[in-house]
Amino acid sequence: MSDVKKGSAAVQYRGAKIWELIMAPACAGNNICMYMCMVYASYVGSAGYGIATALVGIIITATRILDAVTDAGIAFVFEKFPIKYGKCRPFLLIGWAIESLAVFLMYHAGVNHFKGFAGIFVFILIYIVYVIGYTVNNMGGAVIASVLTNDPKQRPMLSFVSTIFSYCTPILLSNIVTFSILPRHDGQYDIPALQEMTALYIGVSLVCCIVSMIGIWRSDKEEVWAAAQAAGVGKKQKSASLKEMWEVLSKNKDVQRYIVTCATDKFAQTTATQSVIMTLLAGVLIGSYEASQVANNFASAIGLVFAFVGGMIIGKIGSKKGTVWFSWAAIGVSAIQLVVCLILGPNGMKQIGDTASWCFMLWVACTVGMTATRMLLSVTANTMRADVVDGEEYRSGNFLPSVVSGVYSLFDKGMSSICSTVATVAISFVGYMNTVPQKGDPVTVPIFALALFLSFGLPILGFVCNLLAMKNYTLDPETLVKVQAHNQEKRLENQENAQA
């Protein structure tokens, strides 16, 4: 059983140890590794399976949208999974295994063995396997914050550490790719390079998965889950289903606002970080993966400092104010970066590639600001997810973290899959019908305009949606104290009734 400590307003908070707050969120590193593998699906689809670039994006979107039934099914299994063996740990490990199998099949076993219709068919099947693994893995990781601690002062720290794993893991891997793997392949994302990259990602993701399982070990046990599921006096716990997900989504206004905030950010940022768009920006316009990676390194190192300080601020002001403050900051930084690019022009952006130039220094400063604000918004989003789980327990009397996670996952998958179509279809309009962008491609005005809009303009729209969503969000720190007190009282009543 997790440690219990006294909270304000006589609320007995379930706390976690420091080492648990540090290790448990490592599943975020696991998730980002697998995400990075599929970022290059358009490259392997084109070169390894003979599929047109735009069609790859459409396939990914269609496959993941059709996965709604899988979300409900896996959420149902999660709710019914024997708590004797825990829930988070088995789902993390099984999900990792399924995803790793899909990545191996897509980038290694299946490459250059299937073309035409067969190539499309095999690619779709493999991607479906990946999506199932992603859902299982995400279900195990998404509820960790709710199980590990309900202390509103600890949750921002948990979210901050999760953000560190989400940002530092890809930065570490990107450095290895940029300065070690790509140079051995003439800077091209060819099949051998992709195979090296994905093998590295799978190995690192396993390490993160194991670390997270160790961190959640004390809390992911029968007595903790039994106590958590004791909410709802005289009620039968509802099972996770599409009907239940719809009920939560339609009746819980705070869940709706949480979904809008996360989904719009996800759509904008995932589109901007699609491999084909990043290649347009760093490889074609700037003309230097190395310079872009150095800027990202500075940004991540300094951004973590801002994120740490901001995380402490979020612990005091709550996720609502944190989202508003840092969305405004992100809008300002994005606007500055966009203006800098417009001033430099299509051919002038090559100056950023010169690490001794003022353009590069300014680019680093802007990248630092953008990375810091996105880290902080990630902290607020992770904190908000745990808060809305408690809010749903207050509203309905049911502790259903997997249902809330399932609702989010539906939108998460839909948004991330649409991003693939948006990116691949968009580049087809600027000359990449059956090929993908590579370093050294000629710069054109359409490429310049597309890269800037998807990299900076679209994120600004996402941040504006955050501001609109937070206008009527109710779970501020004061309200959460009342929610926790109410939930605790109901659980105690339920325990007394069970013993009577």
Q: Domains of the chain (ranges plus CATH)?
A: 12-499 (1.20.1250.20)
Nearest to 467 by CA among 260, 249, 315: 260
β-partners of residue 14 are 4
Question: How many angstroms separate the CA atoms of 114 and 467, rounded?
Answer: 47
Nearest to 46 by CA among 406, 365, 452, 438: 438
Q: How many CB atoms lie within 10 A of CB 101?
A: 16
Fill in the amino acid letter for 497: N
Q: Quick check: helix, strand or coil at residue 220?
A: coil
The full DSSP string for 221-279 is: SHHHHHHHTT-STT-PPPPP-HHHHHHHHHH-HHHHHHHHHHHHHHHHHHHHTSHHHHI
Question: How many angstroms separate the CA atoms of 7 and 451, rounded?
Answer: 49
Question: How many angstroms separate the CA atoms of 250 and 87, rounded?
Answer: 27
Query: pLDDT truncated to tens, each residue of the chain (500 aa)?
Result: 334 344 444 556 667 788 888 998 898 899 889 988 888 888 898 889 988 877 887 887 777 666 656 766 777 777 777 767 778 888 999 999 999 999 999 999 989 888 888 989 999 999 989 988 988 888 888 777 777 777 767 777 787 788 788 888 988 998 999 899 989 998 888 899 999 999 999 999 999 999 999 988 888 876 666 665 554 433 444 555 567 777 787 888 898 898 888 888 878 877 887 878 888 998 899 988 888 888 888 888 887 787 777 777 887 888 889 999 999 999 999 999 999 999 999 989 999 988 888 889 999 998 888 888 888 888 788 788 878 888 888 887 777 776 777 677 777 766 766 777 788 888 888 888 777 788 888 999 999 999 999 999 999 998 999 999 998 899 888 888 888 888 878 777 776 666 65
Q: Which residues contact 441 (CB under 8 A, 6 or more apart)?
A: 283, 284, 447
Cα end-to-end span (Å), the chain:
23
State CA 149 to chain mean position distance. 21
